[in-house]
Amino acid sequence: MFLYAGRYFSKKINVTYGSYRLVKSKYREIKMEIRKILLLFYFLEMSDTEISEVLGNACCTVYRNRMCSLDFIRDR
């Protein structure tokens, strides 16, 4: 399976089934509010400012939650 490395890169990354399951299990451990932030950012390509307006949070809160959750997913 191949995934694109974020919205700013066109390079393909080879994702094994084991790494996919690991990311999926980590993603499920994140709170629903932060999951919404990740989905809006990566799939709807909304900026932190746009997400903060939709969810009613401060922009810095959206940024901090997004970055902390990505760090959580990256750590094994």
Q: Quickly list DSSP for 4-62.
A: ESSSS---EEE--HHHHHHHHHHHHTS-HHHHHHHHHHHTS---HHHHHHHHT--HHHH
The pLDDT assigned to 8 comes to 44
Considering the segment(s) 2-74 as one domain, its CATH architecture is: Orthogonal Bundle (1.10)
The pLDDT assigned to 17 comes to 60
Q: Tens of pLDDT along 16-34?
A: 666 667 777 777 788 888 8
The pLDDT assigned to 13 comes to 52
Q: Tens of pLDDT along 34-75?
A: 888 988 888 888 899 999 999 999 999 999 998 988 888 777
